[in-house]
Chains A and B, each alone.
Chain A
Amino acid sequence: MRKVIGAVAAAAVALGLGTAAHAQQTVKIGVLNDMSGLYADLAGRGSVAAAKLAVEDFAKIDPNLKVEIVSGDHQNKPDIGSSIATKWFDNEGVDMIVDVPTSSVALAVSQVAANKNKVFIGSGPASSDLTGSKCNANTVHWTYDTWMLANGTGKAVVKTGGDTWFFITADYAFGHALERDTSEVVKANGGKVLGAVRAPLNTSDFSSFLLQAQSSKAKVIGLANAGGDTINSIKQAAEFGIVKGGQSLAGLLIFSTDVVALGLPTAQGLVLTETWYWDLNDNNRAWTKRWQKEMGNKVPTMVQAGVYSGVLHYLKAVSALKQSKDGKAVVDKMKELPTDDTLFGKGSIRVDGRKIHPAYLFEVKKPSESKSAFDIYKLRATIPADEAFRPLKDGGCPLVKS
């Protein structure tokens, strides 16, 4: 019996080696995100469509590399996310996982990628810990992070007089990181944090928290939450006359899909930071048209654009190395090559895994200023790439010392 098992095992190993050698020119990419819950619009199928566009465009650069895309729904649960990642890496030959909104899931997946020596490109997650204390050599954090949001929106608000803050924070890794990073920016610019309340993820009624924020008498109510939670907070803040009462709202993470869902009458005047907006320039508009062919009349988010950009750069590194199995080597190559694509322009990836590009401070248009359903932002300021993200030395990433 033991002999039989041994023979089967040997055959399996031989077959495995055989396919590995044969499949050298094949790369498998897994798009892992929320396909059905509150983040499904800002990532979801739209990210898969963006990854497909990247593969399509890469075929023009190197037609020899065969790229396959699979997708999965992590339901915003770290255990489900890491078990899909493990299954993909171990059994299904996936070389790289991209997207993963929800910071708690992303932190888990990043760990799995490091343990299996694969690649993780985070476009959806926000927590700056991914390139800070919890960084590793297999992870690249692409589109945005909590430090950048805090630095963009937080600083702009404090500078225009909003110097006392109260936070309504989503009670998980992302919310905590965003609250922490924003508090630091507020304090560094001479402001004061008066308090915070932690609201469970997926709360539908925020009026109780808004009332607490109201009685704190803070000038600014910082919303350290995302997706449906942010939409509900802003909608209900309007109802409770928070802004009319003299307090202002700072949505720290607002996506274009959220603004469309709120409608301009409710969302007008909000200040927010993003790294990509579909209507910013001709390149973005052209890409959006291609994306909408697959997705219908929807507005793409910076997360989806980041998936495109990340996948494209990953494929360039794989093509240069002629291998995709050693994840750390691929990430090293990605850091070595300068990034360049039509959506984010020229940029680079730092040693801690942080992708660097400019960020934009937007203001949501008044209904009278908007010419079409997705014409929602006006540009207030551009934050240059070297100021948009946390300085390398401040992150506490162990890779930086070595």
Chain B
Amino acid sequence: MFEIFGIPSQALFGQLLIGLINGSFYALLSLGLAVIFGMLNIINFAHGAQYMLGAFAAYLLLQLTGIGYWPALILAPIIVGIIGIVIERTMLQWLYKLDHLYGLLLTFGLALVIEGVFRNYYGSSGQPYQVPSSLAGGHNLGFMFLPNYRAWVIVASLIVCFGTWFVIEKTRLGSYLRAATENPTLVRAFGINVPRMITLTYGFGVALAAFAGVMAAPIYNVSPQMGSDIIIVVFAVVVIGGMGSIMGAILTGFSLGIAEGLTKVFFPEASSTVIFVIMAIVLLTRPAGLFGRG
């Protein structure tokens, strides 16, 4: 067996794979943020809280109605997406003409309120949620033991990420969306209901966060602060990728997951800061982000 920088290559492959899995969550979450920012110009600080809502929706569906993981994977994003639509209709829509800062403050406040309410009722140590029995267990790949559930995380996240990219960049619906962001008045002149399209886009972005939340429920602790733990990293990912760039968000999400995974092997103490170091370097050299157009 050969070694790379003193680490056996087998261990390294394992770490790369794990980085990729964590990158899946970064990609899913930063994708939602990028879609919302790209189409609505809103910096959605409530994204972490909406991710947490997704996980809690799955937990509550199981506790209250006995609905298991697979239906929850569809239902929870729909429920949370509808909550997102209500938020957009009642609050966010008044802010589009104002400075970014207003949207940021509003969504940040919302995140604090949502988290506080859940902490009050469910405490901070979290709720149990088991891996679905159809995905329990795992396979020995030779260089590591890969739990089936983690493999599913990568596959599902790749499908959702590239599906979203395809819809927005390659379909007629996506071209309407992009056009509506560029010039809403003109698009409306063609008879397209722009406000409704924007509302649905926000709902979709929020649903993406909730989807990631359901995916996370069996492996991470389902607790009110699970969103605030991850959201700062995800924002760094979006900044590195370039605000509003969909492909940038996806690729950066996966690659930063890998970068973080490698740090956990070579210098574990720095693993919580490495992404911010990369962010600082990228901002210094390419202020618009790696994939930004501005």
Contacts and interface: CB of A to CB of B under 8 A. Distances in A.
Contacts of B125: 38, 40-42, 227-228, 231, 257-258, 260-261
Interface in A246-268: 257-258, 260-263, 265-266
B124 A44 contact: yes
Contact of A245 (B145, B218, B223, B271): B145
Interface in B118-132: 119, 123-128, 130-131
A159 B225 CA distance: 38
Contact of B147 (A215, A240, A266): A240
A376 to B, nearest CB: 12
A205 B220 contact: yes
B124 A41 contact: yes
A267 to B, nearest CB: 9
Nearest to B136: A239
Given A204-B230, A212-B265, A240-B138, A41 B123 contact: yes
A236 B123 contact: no
B150 interface: yes
Interface residues of A, number: 43
Contacts of A261: 125-128, 221, 223
B11 A212 contact: yes
Interface stretch (B13-21, B38-46, B93-101): B13-21
B36 interface: no
Contacts of A38: 124-125, 223, 225
A14 interface: no
A228 B123 contact: no
Nearest to A171: B269
Interface string A61-105: 000000000000000000000000000000000000000000000
A241 B138 CA distance: 8
A151 B95 CA distance: 59
Interface in B141-170: 144-145, 147, 149-150
A34 to B, nearest CB: 8
> Could you say which of A198, A199, A200, A239 has the most chain B C-beta atoms within 10 Å of its C-beta?
A239
B195 interface: no
> Could you say which of A208, A209, A257, A260 has the most chain B C-beta atoms within 10 Å of its C-beta?
A208
Contacts of A111: none
Given A42-B125, A261-B127, A239 B149 contact: yes
Nearest to A211: B14
B21 to A, nearest CB: 7
Contacts, number: 121
B42 to A, nearest CB: 26
A232 to B, nearest CB: 5
Contacts of B268: 171, 197-200, 209
B229 A202 contact: yes
A37 interface: yes
Interface in A197-236: 197-200, 202-205, 207-209, 211-212, 214-215, 227-228, 231-232, 235-236
- Size class of the B contact interface (CB-based, 8 Å): 35 or more
A240 B229 CA distance: 23
Given A231-B125, A239-B219, A263 B119 contact: no
B261 interface: yes
A387 B229 CA distance: 40
B272 interface: yes
Contacts of B261: 208
B264 interface: yes
> Could you say which of B221, B230, B261 has the most chain A C-beta atoms within 10 Å of its C-beta?
B221
A133 interface: no
Interface in B249-278: 261, 264-265, 268-269, 271-273
A115 interface: no
B126 A231 contact: yes
A36 interface: yes
A235 B131 CA distance: 10
A180 interface: no
Interface in A157-204: 171, 197-200, 202-204
A1 to B, nearest CB: 44
Contacts of B131: 239
A153 B223 CA distance: 27
Contact of A257 (B123, B144, B218): B123
Interface in B1-25: 8, 10-11, 14-15, 18-19, 21-22
Contacts of B221: 204, 228, 231-232, 235, 261
A333 interface: no
B147 A211 contact: no
B150 A239 contact: yes
Nearest to A42: B125
Interface string A265-290: 11000000000000000000000000
Contact of A40 (B119, B130, B271): B119
Contacts of B230: 204
Contacts of A262: 128
Contact of A207 (B8, B18, B225, B273): B18
A39 B223 CA distance: 12
A211 B15 contact: yes
A257 B124 CA distance: 10
A298 interface: yes
B226 interface: yes
Q: Which 9 A-B pairs have the closest CB atoms?
A: A263-B128, A200-B272, A208-B264, A41-B125, A40-B124, A261-B125, A261-B126, A41-B123, A257-B125
27 contacts: A36-B124, A36-B225, A37-B124, A38-B125, A40-B119, A41-B124, A199-B264, A199-B268, A200-B273, A202-B229, A203-B272, A204-B226, A207-B18, A208-B15, A209-B268, A212-B11, A215-B8, A215-B11, A215-B14, A228-B221, A235-B221, A257-B123, A261-B127, A261-B128, A261-B223, A263-B130, A266-B130
Given A211-B144, A235-B220, A261-B125, 9 more contacts: A38-B124, A40-B119, A208-B19, A208-B264, A211-B18, A231-B126, A239-B149, A240-B138, A241-B147
